[in-house]
Amino acid sequence: MRIPKPNFFVFSMLLSVCCVAFAQAQKNDLTNRDFKQLAGAAEEIPQMRLPNPADLGLKSKTAMLAVVANRGVQKYEIPIETTADFRIMLLAPNSEKWSIKLALPNEDYINLRSDATSRNIERTEGFYGLGDEQFPAEIFTFKGATKGTVRVEIKTNRTQSGGFLVVASESPLRLYSYLNTLETVRGNSIGLVASLFDNENETAFAGNIREAAVRIEMPNGEITSARMFDDGNHNDALAGDGVFGGAFVPNQSGKFVAQITAKGTAPNGEAFVRTGEHIVDVAANRAVMSGNAFVKTIDDTRFQIDLTVRNLRAGHKVLAHAEVWGRDTNGDFKAVAWIGGMTLAEKIFGENKTILPLALDARWLARSDAESDYELRNVRFQDADSLAVIGSKETVSLSPIDLPENLQRNFNSEITDEMRTGVRPPSEIQTDAPGGKLMLVHGYCSGDVWATARNAGQFSNYVTFLDLGQNRSHDQFAQRIRNFGASLPSFGIVAHSQGGAASLHLYTYYWSGLDYATGTRLIQSVGTPYQG
């Protein structure tokens, strides 16, 4: 197995040009008219397919060991496979109340805090986390430590806060781990795969991991563990190739934390330990598609495709995607376009069924060589918050489609904005509403990051979106921005951190005041981690 190379994108931009108001959590009265009806050319289809889960893994050069709150002595044995900047970090809300002793290889225990300076151990303090979600961290750096096993004893019986003991060094060894499926749904087996590699060799090392296990923390706080194997039968590749696999079947929905721990012998003969942590969002139900899809005409250029589904309640929002294919005059199937976007499940009154509607602009069909036997391929539904795949089907047949004759004759093959996003709804803003504004948006678990710039007079004609200290999905964040700007005829956005991603999510999937703004730069983001 070859380890995928990282693809990091650093996006950093400036600000420009607003009365401070608070973001109100308004009632969500979304309908399918509020969503953009996304589509694109057949040539774009490969870009719209989901990535291979093996390419979405995590690389770890550390071991993160849990420290339990209000406990007596907890003992740890930590191997050092390289002497280059061996470091230990204590990460907890109040780790200063922990009592910690440490013994370097072949040495006696010392009090790590009081004896650090005399033993050439550098102690620094800082914070670790994202946005305002920061935790105090104590970092101890060991100069000239010898290889071997470090013993650590931590006593937490004077504090109710647990935390982590994090171990790192400049060793080139990395643990690569990933989930083997994007369909993280309750009752579905979720495989975990792990292997060892180094910075100079992207191929997994065989024979170096001696044992691997996964610890699963469930949404209700229960914890379970399972071994991982390199036998070719547990979601791993071939027996003995250094790739370990395991699996768990979630019996509840919510956020799971899966921590993989791998121990073994490094190529230099020294023992090592690495961990990799995965947050797994598990959806409650699988959307099951049944039967063919029914196509009905909306107007002269648009069709609605109704997909019958089970296990979704009316009003359930999903992110949908499908490829449209059809036969040409030679009888060969040709890709026509891709379609998708957010959609709400609808109950068909008088019939005991639920549908998910998708829109198809007829001009995509007129632009294509395909002219009969239309079908959808690679249909998928994803949870709007976690993006977990909750349903998929390789092929869904469509009921017969008749293109309007005038469209066949008069369409010039030019791709328009309406073909890509649907028909923009008329603005419902009152004519006497305030004019367009620049909206200042903060980030993940954040405070009011724009206060200093506002107070310094760096903005004018602005409003400030405030939903402080919250942990929300991009979709939840985007809806709050949309609701907050609903009274404005138009707005542009300057956003920090997750606010930039949520703003882009809003502009991609929803109609909002952004679509009535003018100018070449509707969204300007600062420090937004667009690729994680």
Q: For the chain, what are the domain ranges? A: 37-51+285-421, 62-168, 186-282, 437-526
pLDDT of residue 435: 62
Q: Which contiguous run of DSSP H or E holds residue 170?
A: none
Which residues fall within 8 angstroms of residue 382, CB to CB, at 6 or more apart? 318, 319, 320, 321, 388, 389, 390
Right CATH for 62-168 from 3.20.20.70, 2.60.40.10, 2.60.120.1290, 1.10.260.40: 2.60.120.1290
Strands 437-441 and 491-496: parallel
CA 209 to chain centre: 29
Q: What is the DSSP code string of 177-231?
A: EEES-S--BTTS-EEEEEEEEETTB-BPPSS-EEEEEEEEE-TTS-EEEEEEB-S
Q: What percent of the chain has pLDDT over 90?
A: 65
Q: Is the dihedral of CA 499, 505, 506, 507 positive or negative?
A: positive
The answer to whether domain 186-282 has CATH 1.10.287.3510 is no
The amino acid occupying position 9 is: F
Nearest to 237 by CA among 270, 268, 204: 204
CATH topology of domain 37-51+285-421: Immunoglobulin-like (2.60.40)
pLDDT band at 236 (very low <50, low <70, confident <90, very high): confident
Per-residue pLDDT, averaged over 237-247, amounts to 89
Three-class DSSP category at 452: helix
pLDDT of residue 309: 96
CA 154 to chain centre: 34
Torsion of CA 430, 434, 436, 440, to 10 degrees: -120
Give 110 or 429, the one with higher predicted confidence.
110
First to last CA, the chain: 23
Same fold for the pair 37-51+285-421 and 62-168 = no
Contact 157, 70 (CB under 8 A): yes
What whole-number distance in Å separates Cα of residue 78 and Cα of residue 95? 19
Per-residue pLDDT, averaged over 461-487, amounts to 93
Strands 462-465 and 437-441: parallel
| Whole-number Cα distances in Å, 206 to 97, 191, 197, 229, 313 | 42, 20, 9, 13, 48
Burial status of residue 219 (CB atoms within 10 A of its CB: 0-12, 13-18, 19 or more): middle
Q: What is the per-residue pLDDT across 149-168, written as a single tens digit (0 to 9) for each?
A: 999 999 987 777 789 999 99
The number of C-alpha atoms within 13 Å of 430 and in the hemisphere containing its C-beta is 4
Residue 504 is encoded by which pair of tokens? 């882009």
Q: What is the per-residue pLDDT across 387-442, written as a single tens digit (0 to 9) for each?
A: 999 999 999 999 999 888 778 778 888 999 999 999 998 876 554 455 689 999 99
Phi, psi of 432 (to 5 degrees): -95, 15
What whole-number distance in Å separates Cα of residue 176 and Cα of residue 245? 12
pTM above 0.75, yes or no: yes
What is the crossing angle of helices 474-484 and 498-509, to 10°?
Answer: 70
pLDDT of residue 378: 98
Q: Identify the residue whose tokens are 């690389």.
A: 59
**pLDDT at residue 21 above 50?**
no
The b-or-e profile of 332-350 (16+ CB within 10 A means b, else e) is eeebbbbbbbbbbbbeeee
What whole-number distance in Å separates Cα of residue 290 and Cα of residue 423? 29
